[in-house]
Chain A
Amino acid sequence: MKAGGVKRIALGLSGFVAMAATWELYKAIDGKLGPWHFPAHADDASMPHLLTIGRRFLQPEVRDRPGTVLQAVISGSWYTFRVAVVGLALGAMIGLLLAVVMERFRLLERAWLPYIVLSQTVPLIALAPLISGWGGGLRIGSLHWRPWMSVAAMAAYLSFFPVAVGALRGLQSPQAHHEDLMRSYAASWGQTLWKLRLPAAVPYLIPALQLAAASSIVGAIVSEISIGAKGGVGRLILDYFQRASGDPAQVYTAFIGAALLGLVTVGLIKALEKLLMRNRAAPGLHP
């Protein structure tokens, strides 16, 4: 491994250690500085020791039954991950398609863009049960609407937005002389899209996809909680919360699972960036 890689891993770890130390320090000094406590509770029920949380991972999820919390969190996160990825893929496709159409027809850009922005101000927690309700009776051939599909739909609903906006900017990014060049070759609209606009949009799409990936995870977890869909980490958060008074550490295990899920997803987009941007000039290298 290169020295830069080691340095980055060390930096990442030091951030984690700093966070853990702050957590434990906060707990340790609470009540020790005088006859008062921090406004945010630091007792073991509100902020369990990290060691307790860590241990909780390895203990059975439900007493005297097989299966540890770790297994439950991993399987729940994996389930949510797959649903969110379906939503992300769907949302990215819809976003890109909207951007292509808006780039082609300026009028539609003016007509649609306000609604696309508006769509993101609808409270997710209210929308999820609605979608679930509408979808509930849906049947396409032998395919029944399942709760996970509502969750994926919500993930798509959140993730299409950054992609639509980012892709539109990217598709519009070629300079006038690039467009003139394509016109001088009598290139068709499709050829110009494929050979100029889409490649030019890639640097704009990557950050948009990162936002979309994070949104798809948030969307999936919030709608799992909102409609109580089974199988995912959102449901675990809901279940563990109901037992939080007796088992506070368990709630945090699900939180950590959800946080790692977001990190992994954004990390995957980073890998995609490495792949797609390998041919591009480093920033600032442009003549």
Chain B
Amino acid sequence: MTDVVAMSGLSKVFNPGRANQVDALLEIDLKVSAGTFVSLIGPSGCGKSTLLRVIADLTPPTGGTLSVNGKPAAQARADQDYGMAFQAAGLFDWRKVVRNVELPLELRRMGKAERRTRALAMLELVKLPDFAEHYPWELSGGMQQRVAIARALAADPPLLLMDEPFGALDEMTREHMQAELTRICAATQKTVVFVTHSIPEAVYLSDRVVVMSPRPGRIVKVVDVDLGARTDDMREQPQFFKKVTEVREALRGIGAGAPRGVDDR
């Protein structure tokens, strides 16, 4: 299998050489092979979001090597090789839902009819076909986040980068969205890098959970999760709890006391 994301010795230092220097990432080695779902988890300030932004070429690394989809990150961004979703759905208020999904296609100068067809297919995928002509502010938070996922998938990128996309949702909606994301990923065969601070969320969604420690941000453990098909029942299976415990203990091992900023729920 090919690696969609490959990095070695990757570092990120903010304000290098100054009094407020921060080692956000230190010597990160990580490979994400095609079709796998990888979660980054760790307490606040462990650099998991920074790592995602580095992969997305939204901020440059200060050391090490990085390739995304087999090319330099900047090239991958230019080629729209990844779709991104943030904690805030970030839909444009003035565009109807379908035109929000069309945005990345517009920027690639795809023809009007083609991008409309494509956008409607994506809304079908996230089960919101009836809301194409609505405005984002007419939708609930969970629905908005589904539109954001449809938008991230619109250009059919091989890689999805998600930065706590369900962090602002209530627990019920959140579990529903996790199930939906699992279904969508199975249907589209995407590679996903997913930032979260919820342990059950990471275990439920992922093939691999990457546990990170703060200051400097390092990978302390990679937990392989192999639980088979994701169902609601699975959330109550002993194997599930075993993996949750494994991740939690890795997080506990980071420092004295309970790690802050990590959700046990």
Contact = CB atoms under 8 A, between A and B. Distances in A.
A279 B82 CA distance: 30
B136 to A, nearest CB: 8
**Most chain B CB inside 10 Å of its own CB: which residue of A202, A281, A287:** A287
B137 A181 contact: no
A64 interface: no
Interface string B184-219: 000000000000000000000000000000000000
Nearest to B137: A281
A189 B90 CA distance: 19
Interface in B63-95: 77-80, 82-84, 86-88, 90, 92-94
A280 B94 contact: yes
Nearest to B76: A186
Interface stretch (B38-46, B100-108, B117-125, B254-262): B100-108
Contacts of A184: 56, 58, 77, 82-84, 161
Interface stretch (A4-12, A154-162, A191-199, A237-245): A191-199
A183 B79 CA distance: 12
Contact of A185 (B86, B87, B104, B144): B104
Residue of B53, B96, B103 with highest tally of chain A CB at under 10 A: B103
A204 B87 CA distance: 26
A38 B161 CA distance: 75
A286 B88 contact: no
Given A181-B90, A185-B107, A281 B135 contact: yes
Contacts of A178: 90, 92
B141 interface: yes
Contacts of A202: 94
Contact of A180 (B78, B86, B92, B137): B86
A279 B144 contact: no
**Which bracket fits the contact residues of B?**
20 to 34
Interface string A190-223: 0100011001001000000000000000000000
Contacts of B79: 186
Nearest to B86: A177
Contact of A287 (B58, B80, B103, B141): B141
Nearest to A191: B107
A191 B137 CA distance: 23
B84 A196 contact: no
A180 B88 contact: no
Interface of A: 175, 177-178, 180-181, 183-187, 191, 195-196, 199, 202, 279-281, 285-287
17 contacts: A177-B88, A181-B84, A181-B86, A181-B90, A184-B83, A184-B161, A185-B103, A185-B104, A186-B78, A186-B80, A195-B106, A199-B94, A279-B94, A279-B135, A281-B135, A285-B137, A287-B144
